[in-house]
Amino acid sequence: MPHSNSAGKVSLRQRRPALIFAAALALAPVLANLPSALAAEGDGSGYSGKRLWASEMQDYATNSLKSEEALSMAAVPLNGPGLDQSINADVPMSPGSIMKVITTYAALEILGPTHHWDTDFLTDGVMVGDTLKGDLYVRFGGDPKLTFERLWATLRELRDMGINRIDGNLVLDGSYFEIDGGFPLFKDNGHNPYAPFLVEPSAYLTNLNLLHFQIRADERGTQAWSTPDLSEIVIDNRVTAVDEGPCPSRRNFDWEPVVQEGGRVTVRVTGELPQGCRTTTYLSLLPQEQYSASMIRSLLGEMGIIVSGGNLNGPTPQKARLVMKTTSPDLVTMVRDINKWSSNVMARQLLLTIGAQNRLDDENDDRVAGIRVIYDWLEKKGIDTSGMVIDNGAGLTRHGRITARQGTKILQHAWNSPYSSDLMTSMPIIAMDGTMARRLRNTGMDGEGRIKTGYLENVRSIAGFTRDENNTTWAVVGMVNNDPAWNGQAVLDRILYSLHFEPPTGTSLSRANASGSETSFQ
């Protein structure tokens, strides 16, 4: 508003010194009391008493982790009052599985929420009576979750067509993905190469490449079986049935796979099982090509369809015609499975799909192409990706890096995305489901946040959205990198708890760390 220079009126410029002086007088009591205010303990008010919220979190983390550098976090209010908070927020940290939030959010915007994957069954032969004379081709499309049940429903169509014999080979076509030299090695400290979370992505992937083993005890003794029932897998059941009693945990049983010549695997299992109880485990024992071919052949056999030829891998001829197909659920459904249950192989499959769908002519590795596409997508949003290392899109890596500030900026964009509800729905609900089902129970926070968790040796992490008592939603990212990090979960839960019950909504103050540390607070 223009000021007046007419006689009898004082301009805003002329009044400014007096206003500043008056403001200084008003602030004098506050400034005089600053040292005691900063030293005061929290009194339960909205801004964690009179101390800095981030300062309290840092003190708690330092005491718990015995390090001032072990915790990195950032929290930003999205739709209500609050002050941005950060601790070591610009230090690249190992994120663990919270990297899946970036991969799934990117997929929603790059591929679109209705994206789906097709798996086609084709033949270059002819149907004569009850026989398909020719090869049956399975052209995979990179489906992250081509399940046993969906394959059964699709293959049943052959029997419904009246076919009970395939006079040819079963040929798997895994050319959808291009991979140059395999994937970076992940050195697992669990010493179990057959663990489900270690399954690598593949165009040939079916049923997450898992075998579900079960043993049940009754008056007859114990019975053991696996689903799917593959000819290469033999169970050496040495579990003994005992009198009825409490059912033991899975840790009471030892599953020992023994790889034999010809691709066969014998699984020896030992332990004691009370009558009426059962125990189960999941193992990944075969290469994806072998597993998928064996499962398809097994399902056909259960339906009474005989395949006379062998199992081959190769491209589908152009002259082959479609016999049947199965289409996956949409991407939104896949994203939910990935984030709720932290599926590494599905997240990695998703990264490959982003690469395959956006591969440049000079690119021959869909993992590298997918990472390039995500970096480009982030930079177009104005997010500085310096120091960020995506690696495989799942966080199952010792090399992945991200800063807490980068993470919260990505979450801020996700909050305003057309697909924000799809991403949020996919994330575990505090104290209710997914990987957050057992965390922050009995704290009054049930359902008050949607948080993706991360867990690796010496790494604990969280990323997502949580709501405070004022109904303000916060974007929060926290990472603990420490040896050991086992108590990092308590630190991260404390952050979520404090954001809810003592959100930083007061006047922003800053202080230097008394020890001279470079740790920054806001």
**212-227: pLDDT as tens digits:** 999 999 999 999 999 9
Burial of 440 (0-12, 13-18, 19+ CB in 10 A): buried
For 358-502, where are the alpha helices, taking DSSP H only?
366-380, 404-415, 420-426, 488-501
Q: Using one digit for the tens of pLDDT, what is the confidence trace for 247-256?
A: 999 999 999 9
Give the separation between CA 144 and CA 327, rounded to whole angstroms: 11
pLDDT at 522 exceeding the cut of 70: no
**Residue of higher predicted confidence among 90 and 512:** 90
pLDDT at 429 exceeding the cut of 70: yes
Pairing of strands 221-227, 211-218: antiparallel
Residues in the chain: 522
Q: Using one digit for the tens of pLDDT, what is the confidence trace for 367-377?
A: 999 999 999 99
DSSP string, 308-323: -S-EEE-PPPTT-EEE
SS3 354: helix
Overall average pLDDT of the 391-401 stretch:
97
Residue 126, phi-psi category: left (phi > 0), alpha (psi -120 to 50), beta (remainder): beta
For 251-303, where are the alpha helices, taking DSSP H only?
288-302
Give the separation between CA 420 and CA 422, rounded to whole angstroms: 5
Using CA atoms of 484, 490, 491, 493 in order, give the dihedral in degrees to the nearest 10.
140
Q: Using one digit for the tens of pLDDT, what is the confidence trace for 31-59?
A: 333 333 323 333 334 444 435 999 999 99
